[in-house]
Amino acid sequence: MSTTEKRDIRALSQQELRGFFVEKGEKPFRGDQVFEWLWHKGAHHFDDMTNLSLALRTLLEEHFSINHIAISRMQQSKDGTIKNAVTLHDDMIVESVLIPTPKRTTACVSSQVGCSLNCQFCATAKLKRMRNLNPDEIFDQVIAINQQSQKYFGRKLSNIVFMGMGEPLMNYNNVIKAIDKITAEKGLQMSPKRITLSTSGIPKMIKKMADDGVKFNLALSLHSAIQEVREKIMPFCSKFPLEDLIESLQYWFEKTGRITTLEYLIWKGINDREEDRNALVDFAKKVPCKVNIITYNSIDEDRFVQAGPVTVKAYVDILEKNRIPVTIRRSRGEDIDAACGQLANKF
């Protein structure tokens, strides 16, 4: 059988793997073993599956391929952050980032090649969306970063954020399938509490996630709580009025009991006025949340300039005065273009 006729074995469910072995006159538990090799141990070759006989490995080889990612380039920042260029089986490239802190290692993973949204301040948006990542391509980024964490920092990966390239809610089914494998008993066994999905805010999908009973955390890229301003910096938002977004986040809280993290960038002359701050306070009063002020990473767009410390402090003060939890996120990996919004395959 030629390679092109072979199916990617990772498109099969555990049940389908069992079915395959039964059909070949083998015991169903062989399917469980293969599943564990693929999703717990992250095997990339049938020969790695050492508890299967050579005959069974050859059988698998005849019918299936294991399409896996390859880290084609790795760069390390002065602050320890590692950026990976990840080549997919069709030679497309995405990026993923390992962010170390004294206590944690966080993987920042991509969900799409490019992005279909048009946030004016984000480098990924310039690429347009080329395709969705498959569940295994998302999973593989996590496996690779887990290995790097062990190799370079002597500890396991502790957190995952969907803040790489792409809009995860535009590739919802595959993201959910990947998270299932990441959290599964027979998979990576990571707690969903340590996973955060960041979205630019698609109300219908936020409600769907709440209905689906997902167990991970939600972050929303708000950046402005004034519809007119938000539409200027994130033009796709014209389809999603802020009222709908508020309603969906209220629904999320009712269903899941979890608050939303509001991600917020502050730029000179864009959202640095008093009315911008008041609008954020009003928004945050309606939605159970905490605010995370992010530092803007420059992407060669003259329009966007990070606001100064006085403006940032004015935001922090008014939020604190209104008892809204607020934190400031430090930028990491800027020297290698690995920071938020800088992922764009520069080389």
Q: Which residues are catalytic?
A: 95, 340
Please state the closest distance from residue 115 (CB atom) to ligand SAH, in A: 6
Give the E-state strand segments of 105-172 in sequence order: 105-108, 112-113, 131-132, 159-162
Residue nearest to ligand SAH (CB): 341
x/- map, 165-194, ligand SAH, by CB under 6 A: --x---------------------------
Please identify, using beta-carbon distances, which residue of 15 and 238 lies nearer to ligand SAH. 238
Half-sphere exposure of 246 (CA within 13 A, CB side): 16
Per-residue exposure over 80-116, b if at least 16 CB sit within 10 Å of its own CB, e if not? ebbbbbbebeeeebbbbbbbbeeeebbbbbbbbbbbe
- Does the protein bind ligand SAH through residue 200 (CB under 6 A)? yes
Please state the closest distance from residue 199 (CB atom) to ligand SAH, in A: 5
Range in contact with ligand SAH (rule: CB under 6 A) among 18-26, 174-182, 291-299, 311-319: 291-299
Please state the closest distance from residue 210 (CB atom) to ligand SAH, in A: 17
Please identify, using beta-carbon distances, which residue of 42 and 341 lies nearer to ligand SAH. 341
Task: Tell me how long the chain is.
Answer: 347
Give alpha helix (H) positions in 126-256.
135-153, 172-183, 203-211, 227-233, 242-256
x/- map, 146-165, ligand SAH, by CB under 6 A: -----------------x--
Interaction residues for ligand SAH, span 48-87 (CB under 6 A): none
127-132 CB contacts, 8 Å cutoff, 24+ apart: 127/165, 127/344, 127/345, 129/166, 129/170, 130/92, 131/92, 132/166, 132/170, 132/171, 132/174
Q: How far is CA 120 from CA 270, 288, 298, 303, in A?
A: 12, 27, 12, 9
Place of tokens 């199916």: 7
Total of chain residues touching ligand SAH, rule CB under 6 A: 17
**Member of 159, 221, 224, 260 binding ligand SAH (CB under 6 A):** 221
- Does the protein bind ligand SAH through residue 261 (CB under 6 A)? no
d(CA 97, CA 233): 25
**Member of 46, 172, 296, 315 binding ligand SAH (CB under 6 A):** 296
**Member of 214, 294, 319, 338 binding ligand SAH (CB under 6 A):** 294
Which parts of this chain interact with ligand SAH (CB under 6 A)? 119, 121-122, 163, 167, 198-200, 221, 263, 265, 294, 296-297, 299, 340-341
